[in-house]
Amino acid sequence: MRIRTLALGVMLSLVAAVTAQEVKQGQAKVESFSPQGQIKDVRQVVARFSHPMVSFGDPRSEAPFDLECAGKGRGRWADARNWLYDFDQDLPAGIECSFRTKPGLKTFAGAELAAQTFKFSTGGPSIRGAWPDEGEERIDEAQVFMLALDAHADLASVRANAYCAVDGIGERLPLTIIEGKERERILAEQKNRARVLFDVIFKRGNRGAASVRDVRLVDAPILVANCGRPLPAGANVRLVWGAGIKTANGIATTEVQTLPYQVRPQFSARFTCQRVNANAGCIPVLPVQLEFSAPVARALASKIEMRTADGQVHRPVIDPNVATVDSVEFKGPFAERSEAMVALPSALKDDAGRTLINAAAFPMKVRIDDDPPLVKFPSRFGILEVNAQPALPVTVRNVEPMLDAYALDVAKAPKAAAKGRVKRIDTDDDAALALWMRRILREPSEDIRRKNGEYLKPGSVPMLSDAERVAAQPIDIPRAEPKMAMQVIGIPLPQRGLYAVEIASTRLGQALHAEADGQIRPYYVSGGALVTNLAVHFKHGRESSLAWVTRLDDGKPVSGAQVRVTDCLGRRWWDGATDANGIARIERELPPQNRWQDCPHAPNAYLVSARIDGDMSLMLTSWNEGIRPWQFNLGGGSGAEPVIAHTVFDRALFRAGETVSMKHVIRRRVGTGFAAVEARDLPRQLQLIHAGSGQRFELPVAWANGTALSTWNIPKDAKLGEYTVQFDDGGRTRVRLQSGSFRVEQFRVPLMKAVLKPPSKSVVNPSQVTIDAQLSYLSGGPAAGAPVKFRSRIVPSSQSFSDYDEFSFGGVVPKVGIEAEAPYDESAQDEPEATGGAARVQDVSLDANGGARVVFDKLSADKALFKEQTRALEVEMEYADPNGQILTAFTQTLLTPSALVVGLAPDGSFFKRDLLRFKAVVLDSAGKPQAGKDVSVDAYSRTRFAYRKRLLGGFYAYEQTVEVKRLKQVCRGTTDARGLVLCSGSAPASGDLILVARTDDAAGNAAIATRDVYVAGSDDSWFEAGQSDRIDLIADKRSYEPGETARYEVRMPYRTATALISVEREGVLESRVVTIDSKLPYIEVPMLGHYGPNAYVSVLVVRGRIEPEMPGRFAWLKRMIFRAAKF
């Protein structure tokens, strides 16, 4: 104890000597003070003294100023020379503050300071937010503006200095202020927007549970006003908030604010329809529309008529659940080459009561044209099975009876036929094959446009040159009468081979390519087809790849087929033959696709071809529609580089002048995990890149076994922010490896450590929660008696478990009936943030051990908030650290309605009426499955109705109501050993459904889970065709150890199929071919020890052609579908 006292005395003597010397060098004073003058949003005052004033870290030091200020706050010393005063909230306008040094104020060394006074003001009231938003271009003629101010304004000064400036009006329009009941009605109708403005004023998060009826919102400084007279349509308007507007205590604005707006155009109606060109009439098979510049009541819009020449009266089809419409539509088809009259009701007005500005244009005569000409292939390229009467379908309509066509090996045409020609393609020449595939897959005008830089319309350039057209053989396209009817014609292609087909139509060119010089040029429609009995499938990996060849007619593998892998120029990168399973294994790395520079207009893809017995088939690796990783809920793709780098830092946060120590590791991805990178391929330098400015620092790197050590002395003037570590290979490639990042910031090291210890697990329906707090010095010892502040609130929360990420947990049983939802404001961008209300504050003094046991009670009062839903009790402890900063510690505790947790996982987001399949799981609070628990699942329907509604003051909102009905119980069961209940069956209704699962714990507390699904109805024809070629693999486990065998259920749309099973990582590790039957759709895959982590199992299933004449329960339907599809 004596030694410590002596040391302290020596230290104080040294400090006194140093500071006394400093005082002699200059008069002690306040060196800087901020803010001063007029300034907005003041939250903190900072004063810096020329000499040390207090003992650093002493929280008992007194304030050095006497202050006069209406804003409340508290002061503290940040260090020996800097004093801070923190206001409880941002100061509003109209506040003046004065800080005077206290009489007799002395430095730590005892020198007296001269008297000084500092003042600042927050100025007069200014606009902090407005509705409509600044720049809105469709305000109403009688628009009311809601202006969020930073203080209440003197209304007389507003009337004198705020006005509207309108183009075309030579005088200022003083703002007319709306007060009293009318103001309250406008705020009530615009309650969502009013809350947003409230947040702007009082800072989101501090407003508590503000509502329209809350006196804080009614009395908030939100000025409601208009321009005093109707505004002219289409005019530019500027709302000017001038200088001289005062607060209640007389502080005036000195700067002008201007908010620009534009008034909406006059009420007009516009008839629109689709046409083949600007001079043509409406297409008869498509609907026509009448569009309004403003909403019209549904009752008025339903009286609009479209009368055709044959006496028919067409009325618009309007949704019965809407109140207003912006347009009406008349369904076709209409009679070709006819005229129609669109008639409006005499009392047609918009929702603001305005009449049509172009009413004299109605009744309006509209012209209906012929059906547009059409010549169209299903796609630019397709593959046809040679054994299934191959024919290339082409759809034609309203074109000349004699079409010029070119194709390969065409039989003689019947008498009434259009003429065409043929071009033969050599399919054994890889270069010619690649060239023709490029030509077939691209619109010819695109290549010419890229070469010459001129714009050419699609179809204006033929695919075949004149010389190729002369060498081609003519063909006939059989036509039927009448010529106007749409026909699907099959061009017979009976022989194997690759066909390039082109059709020229002058009538189509006349309709789509109207030339300024009056000349009529043909429109060229081109495409290609491959007739074969082979199908080529390809799996591309970094280390190895695989080609699989099957037959189209029966789906069986083809052995002995010669496989070639070429690029866009026909350069061969691999060739070989398939084995007995039709598999060709490519045990080498193929060149990267994205580095080919010779084919700028070709897709970055390999061309994989297979040949056997005079037959040939091909595929491009860019043909990945329907099988992309995201369609299987998988990540990855072409972005992963073969080499990966990682940097380990001694820490991630630094200050300028300190040293960063780094260890770098570089590895190459391989199928078995990671491998070393060759020494010649290792980068020779690294770059430290500042994220904000791009400033770079280069460091040399010396590698040893794929690792390296580096240090960087951070310059004292280094820019603050994030620095990224990037390796550069010296320009040999464009690859840049980023291995990590760190930050350089200005900060103070905390001298205290705070620990909050909540309950170890979630609490079920508590009335109170106890949390232990401990505050101690990092140098050792408790912060005995330290004053701290606790803030707490209850917020909505949810539970999730890593092993059950496909399940959704929690929710609330929907309320049955019809309820109005909050209206959606047009152009609304920021919605009020959902919070748990105002935070509760407790001031606590820690005990002699620096600890406290804090009770957060009265939770039962909030029980209704989390009776069915999980909530979280958020707790924050605030304390003053000796380093001069106010620090906080945070924790939270889950408040659950039950000791059990139930979850729902549908097999997708969309279903059909005949099959609704999902599963439920029951867990305890730790995420462990619970067996033998009863689970019931009910289905509810939800239907939304919305319409646009005009509000007071020229505002608009979408009024929305929701009707919820309980349908039926769709599943009930008891959980198995995995805690699961599997459910499947028909859906009780179509549309939006809510599945609600329920189970009870031992105390009878219900656990609820809800999940939204969509069930397609009869009018959802789009649902029949899926967006991908995905099938599902259901594993018996979530993870496997080496040596185990994985068992998968294959859910596919086939009864039997041939399947290619492969294990993939950086390439194809293993592969085999099996036959899968829907009666036993299971496969087993051994997890071999040499597989790297995160290997993928892939199953590709193919099936041959199903003979439509096969007997069966639905043979008649098969024949019907087949014959309807024949040409």
Phi, psi of 511, rounded to the nearest 5 degrees? -75, -40
Domain match, 611 and 714 both: no
User: What's the pLDDT at 640?
Assistant: 64
Q: CB neighbours of 707 closer than 8 A, spacing ≥ 6?
A: 663, 664, 665, 666
Query: Exposed e or buried b for every residue in 285-305, given b needs 16+ CB within 10 A?
Result: eebbebebbbbbebebbbebb
β-strand partners of 361: none
The CA angle 229-241-35, to the nearest 5 degrees, is: 165
Q: Which residue has the tokens 């496909």?
A: 806
User: What's the pLDDT at 221?
Assistant: 87
Residue ranges of the chain with per-residue pLDDT less than 70:
1-26, 56-60, 191-218, 406-426, 446-455, 467-475, 478-485, 514-518, 593-603, 633, 635-640, 729-735, 820-838, 860-868, 908-910, 946-959, 1017-1029, 1107-1127
For residue 395, the enclosing domain spans 376-532
Q: Other C-beta atoms within 10 Å of 228: how many?
A: 14
The two tokens of residue 1045 are 């065998």
Phi, psi of 5, rounded to the nearest 5 degrees? -65, -40
DSSP 1077-1091: ETTB-EEEEE--TTP
Q: Considering the domain boundaries, does residue 1113 fall inside one?
A: no
Q: CB neighbours of 1013 closer than 8 A, spacing ≥ 6?
A: 906, 909, 910, 911, 916, 918, 992, 993, 995
- Name the residue among 626, 570, 394 with its Cα closest to residue 490: 394
Helices 191-202 and 180-189: crossing angle in degrees, nearest 10, is: 100
The letter for the amino acid at 702 is A
β-strand partners of 1074: 1059
Domain match, 967 and 834 both: yes
Convert 1021-1084 into a string of H (helix), E (strand) and C (coil).
HHHHCCCCCCCEEEECCCCCCCCCEEEEEEECCCCEEEEEEEEECCCEEEEEEEEEECCECEEE
Domain match, 111 and 23 both: yes
pLDDT digits over 1022-1057, tens only?
333 444 567 888 888 778 889 999 999 888 888 899
Do the Cβ atoms of 1033 and 1049 come closer than 8 Å?
A: yes
Tally of residues, the chain: 1127
The CATH code of the domain that includes 612 is 2.60.40.10
Convert 226-249 into a string of H (helix), E (strand) and C (coil).
ECCCCCCCCCEEEEEECCCCEECC
- The CA distance from 240 to 243, in Å, is 9
Q: Other C-beta atoms within 10 Å of 1053: how many?
A: 10
The two tokens of residue 641 are 């580089």
The two tokens of residue 1077 are 């039957």
Q: Considering the domain boundaries, does residue 1110 fall inside one?
A: no
The residue out of 1025, 1044, 1061 marking a domain boundary is 1025
The domain total for the chain is 8
Domain match, 256 and 275 both: no
Do the Cβ atoms of 952 and 185 come closer than 8 Å?
A: yes
Domain match, 799 and 892 both: yes
Cα-trace Rg, the chain: 39
- The CA distance from 307 to 313, in Å, is 5
- The CA distance from 530 to 267, in Å, is 57
Q: Which residue has the tokens 């690796």?
A: 621
Q: Considering the domain boundaries, does residue 1124 fall inside one?
A: no
User: What's the pLDDT at 373?
Assistant: 86
Domain match, 765 and 805 both: yes
Q: Considering the domain boundaries, does residue 1115 fall inside one?
A: no
The CATH code of the domain that includes 729 is 2.60.40.1930
Torsion of CA 164, 165, 168, 173, to 10 degrees: 40
- The CA distance from 58 to 261, in Å, is 56
β-strand partners of 424: 499
Q: Which residue has the tokens 């997890």?
A: 1087
The CATH code of the domain that includes 214 is 2.60.40.1220
β-strand partners of 912: 915, 1016
- The CA distance from 960 to 823, in Å, is 6
Domain match, 988 and 1081 both: no
Q: Considering the domain boundaries, does residue 1116 fall inside one?
A: no
Do the Cβ atoms of 970 and 939 come closer than 8 Å?
A: yes
The residue out of 744, 768, 793 marking a domain boundary is 744
Domain match, 241 and 290 both: no
- The CA distance from 774 to 813, in Å, is 41
Domain match, 408 and 449 both: yes
Domain match, 1046 and 994 both: no
The residue out of 592, 624, 656 marking a domain boundary is 624
The CATH code of the domain that includes 315 is 2.60.40
CA distances from 128 to 140, 149, 257, 946 (A): 22, 6, 10, 32
Q: Considering the domain boundaries, does residue 716 fall inside one?
A: yes
Domain match, 787 and 932 both: yes
pLDDT digits over 934-952, tens only?
999 999 998 877 666 666 6
The two tokens of residue 990 are 């179509």
CA distances from 766 to 773, 812, 855, 1004 (A): 20, 19, 12, 15
Q: Considering the domain boundaries, does residue 1018 fall inside one?
A: yes
Gap between the terminal Cα atoms of the chain: 106
User: What's the pLDDT at 557?
Assistant: 97
User: What's the pLDDT at 827?
Assistant: 40
The CA angle 701-706-708, to the nearest 5 degrees, is: 35
Domain match, 856 and 1002 both: yes
β-strand partners of 174: 163
User: What's the pLDDT at 21?
Assistant: 43
User: What's the pLDDT at 207?
Assistant: 41
Q: Considering the domain boundaries, does residue 1122 fall inside one?
A: no
Burial class (CB in 10 A: 0-12, 13-18, 19+), 106: middle
Pairing of strands 417-421, 817-825: unpaired
Do the Cβ atoms of 419 and 557 come closer than 8 Å?
A: no
β-strand partners of 539: 546
Q: CB neighbours of 453 closer than 8 A, spacing ≥ 6?
A: none
Q: DSSP letter at 390?
A: -
